Amino acid sequence: MSEPEILFDRIGHAGVVTLNRPKALNALTHDMVLRMAEALAAWESDASVRLVLVRAAGEKAFCAGGDIRRVYDMGKAGDPAQRAFFADEYRLNVRIKRYSKPYVALVDGIVMGGGVGVSVHGSHRVGTERTTFAMPETGIGFFPDVGGSYFLPRMPDQTGMMAALSAGRLKQADALWTGILTHAVASADLDALTQALGEEVDVDAVLARFAARHDAGTPSLAARAPRIAELFGKPSVAEILSALDAVAGKASDADADAEWAGGLAAAIRSKSPTSVLLSFAQLRRGGEADFEACMRLEYRIVSHILQGHDFYEGVRALIVDKDNAPHWSPATLADVSEDAVLAHFAPPEGGDLDV
């Protein structure tokens, strides 16, 4: 008999969720989403539960995203449940964002995509030295969803825009500095921290005590923050790339940013052109919207993107055939029309997401 994909338990006065697909990097399935939403609803009205803890089995990943291969297969088969998965996942994100009790995510290992959705919106996000955050969606012809519209543009100095367009990764110190994490602790302390949170009343005091025992190091992004803000605050992707190319073109030993800028420009150009332009427009809109509006926006986008080409091509290249040679359509940023981008923001067939 196979192990359950998600486990629910009590440790003292804490309701504990354990993502339990370590061999699949704890990727979220539709059933996991539905069961987690049900548990959160029950615990929110249970006076004996003072907080919720979310953790994951295994040491490699907290959650590497949604089960994209399953979504791909459903799309290829024309399964209408494909879009229902995203609707329920986005509703779960809203529940977490608005949860009335402390919601503590213990992020140990890789956290990407859907894993970010069940952690970053919680009141407390605790990461270890093994934490690696990323929103890699532009590399598979998708977009930074699960609330990316909301939290990415609110990261400091346009670091969220940089991460979204380039699919860049942040380690513990940078995730803490940008606000992805609220606390940094040592992975060796997680068991003791979990027990303390279940036994003690003051969540903030417990987390502060464990965080004081761990040095996350110096965030690498902090020193480059003014330049990141300047480069990624440009009014278009074309102008961002032009500015990055200008920095990269200096290519002198005196300018340590030259190689860094060149790497970012190359990374952005390797992603789906449609996804890059769509993500840029998405984040600009999301920066001015409340959370529920962002989730409705993302549901519109996903409803359209699942009917397109690049998502299926990106998943084929990265996960199915693993040739890492996607053939994007359109193939270049210049070939993507403004109308094609704007079409993703139109209400989908069947109406907007009810959140």
- pLDDT tens digits, residue range 116-131? 999 999 999 999 999 9
Residue 17 pLDDT class (50, 70, 90 cuts):
very high
How does DSSP classify residue 252?
-
CA gap 211, 225 in Å, rounded: 24
What percent of the chain has pLDDT above 90? 93
For residues 297 and 276, what is the distance between their CA atoms, to the nearest angstrom? 16
- Selecting among 15, 66, 109, 147, the annotated active-site residue is 66
* Residue 131 lies in domain: 1-355
Average pLDDT, the chain: 96
Check if 129 is active-site.
Answer: no
Catalytic entry in 109, 113, 114, 115: 114
Residue 253: pLDDT band (50, 70, 90) is: very low
Alpha carbon distance 122, 153 (integer Å): 17
- Number of continuous H segments (helices) and E segments (strands) in the chain: 16, 10
Per-residue pLDDT for 222 more than 60?
Answer: yes
Could you report the per-residue pLDDT of 58-107, keeping only the tens digit for each? 989 999 998 899 999 999 998 888 999 999 999 999 999 999 999 999 99
Residues in the chain: 355
**Contacts of the segment 31-38: beta carbons below 8 A, 24+ positions apart:** 31/5, 31/6, 32/5, 32/6, 33/85, 33/88, 33/89, 33/92, 34/88, 35/6, 35/8, 36/6, 36/92, 36/118, 37/88, 37/91, 37/92, 37/95
The Cβ of residue 18 has, within 10 Å, a number of other Cβ atoms equal to 16
**Is 145 assigned a catalytic role?**
yes
pLDDT band at residue 1 using 50, 70 and 90 as cut-offs: low
Q: What is the pTM of this model?
A: 0.96
Sheet holding 132-134, edge to edge: 61-63, 110-112, 132-134, 169-171
Query: Is 75 designated active site?
Result: no
Q: What is the CATH number of the domain that holds 29?
A: 3.90.226.10
- SS3 label, residue 19: strand
Residue 14 — φ and ψ, nearest 5°?
-105, 130
Whether 352 is catalytic is no
Distance CA(181)–CA(133), nearest Å, equals 10
3-class SS of residue 104: strand
Q: Which of 142, 226, 211, 201 is nearest to 176 (CA)?
A: 211
Residue 157 gets the label, from left (phi > 0), alpha (psi -120 to 50) or beta, of: left
The total number of structural domains in the chain stands at: 1
Is 282 in contact with 305 (CB distance < 8 Å)?
no
* Unique residue bearing structure tokens 């955050």: 133
Catalytic residue (choose from 67, 89, 137, 313): 137
